[in-house]
Amino acid sequence: MADTYINKYEQAIAQSTVTDDDAVVAEAVKKILDEHFAENNTQEVYRTLFNCIDLTTLKSTDSPASVAKFTEAVNSFEELYPSLPNVAAICVYPNFAPVVRTVLEVSGVKIACVSGAFPSCQSFEEIKIAETSLAIANGADEIDIVFNLGNFFDHDYEAVTDEINEQKEACRDGELKVILETGALRTARNIKAASILSLYSGADFLKTSTGKEYPGASLEATYIMAQCIKEYYEKTGTKVGFKAAGGIRTTEDAVKYYTVVKEVLGEEWLNNEYFRLGASSLANSILSDIAGHEVKHF
C-alpha cells in the first residue's frame, strides 16, 4: 500500500515539469495579460463569464427564507433577461440544498454545496464525509471541499489524498471541487504540490479559495493550477475544471482570470463545464457591463 501511494502521488509531484518558481510565474502572468487582456475584454466574453458564475451565499445569517429568496432571483433572471445565459450554479451551505432544490425552477443551473467542515476542514473525517453524503442525497449536484492544509503542512500526503478519495466516493454521481486555499499555501511550490495531489485523488475541479480566512484567488495561483491541469490532461486524457473564488468582484477581474485560463488551457475550457467563478457580487457587476447601466438583480 505504501509503495503504491509513493508511486502514485509523490512520484507525480517529482516528475511534474510545471514551474514552481514564483518569479517565473509572476512574469508569465504579466506577459499573458499584457498581450491578451484587451482582446478578451468584450461583450461576448462578458456573457460567457456570467454563464460561468457559481452564485454564492455563505453567510452566518443565511436561512431557509433568505436562501429561497436568493434562488428566486435566479428563477426571475430567466424571465427578465431571456436573451442572456443564466448563472452556472447556486452555491450554498449543505443544509440548504433541499431549499434550493425545492425553489429552483430553471433548467441548466446546478446546485453546489460547500462541505467537509467548510471553511477550515477541521472535524472528524466521518462527519465530513457524512456532510457530503447528506448534501448529495438532498439535491446537491456539486460539492466544494477544502484541501486538508494541516495534513499537507505535516507532509502527511497519504492522509490528504485518502480524504479526497473518500469525499469523491461520497459524491457518487456529483462533481467534486477541491479548494486548495492558495492564500494559505502561498508559494508556487506548495500550490503545485497541492494541485497534483488533488488531481491524482479524483478532483473534478481545482478551486483557488474559500474567500474566508485567507487571501482569495490570485492570477499567479491560477496560472500554476491551470498548468497542472494541462499537464494532468496530457498524461491521463482526463479534463479537470478550474474555479477561481475569493475577492473576484469586477468584470475586469473576471476577464483577467478568463485570459489566463484561455492562454494556458485553451478554448476547450472556456465554458461552465470546466470554468467557474465563485462570487456573490460579481454577477451584478458583469450584468451591469452587459446592460450598459447599473443593475442590481442579485
Determine contact, residues 145/116, Cβ cutoff 8 Å. yes
pLDDT tens-digit profile of 137-183? Answer: 999 999 999 999 999 999 999 999 999 999 999 999 999 999 999 99
Question: How far is the C-alpha of 202 from the C-alpha of 166, rounded, in Å?
Answer: 10
* Residue 30 annotated among the catalytic residues of the structure: no
What pTM was estimated for this model as a whole? 0.94
What's residue 2's pLDDT? 52
Question: How far is the C-alpha of 289 from the C-alpha of 147, rounded, in Å?
Answer: 34
Q: Which of 80, 75, 123, 129 is nearest to 102 (CA)?
A: 75
Q: Which three cell numbers stand for residue 162?
A: 485518502
* Residue 243 annotated among the catalytic residues of the structure: yes
Q: Which of 54, 144, 253, 289 is labelled catalytic? A: 144
Q: Which of 243, 253, 256, 262 is labelled catalytic? A: 243
Q: Which three cell numbers stand for residue 253?
A: 477581474
Q: Which of 128, 168, 177, 207 is labelled catalytic? A: 207
* Residue 31 annotated among the catalytic residues of the structure: no
pLDDT tens-digit profile of 209-235? Answer: 998 989 899 999 999 999 999 999 999
Question: How far is the C-alpha of 102 from the C-alpha of 125, rounded, in Å?
Answer: 29
Question: How far is the C-alpha of 272 from the C-alpha of 51, rounded, in Å?
Answer: 7
Determine contact, residues 57/94, Cβ cutoff 8 Å. no
Question: How far is the C-alpha of 270 from the C-alpha of 268, rounded, in Å?
Answer: 6
Find out whether the peptide bond into 85 is cis, omega within 30 degrees of 0: no
pLDDT at 3 > cutoff 60? no
pLDDT at 60 > cutoff 80? yes
Q: What is the mean pLDDT of residues 271-278?
A: 97
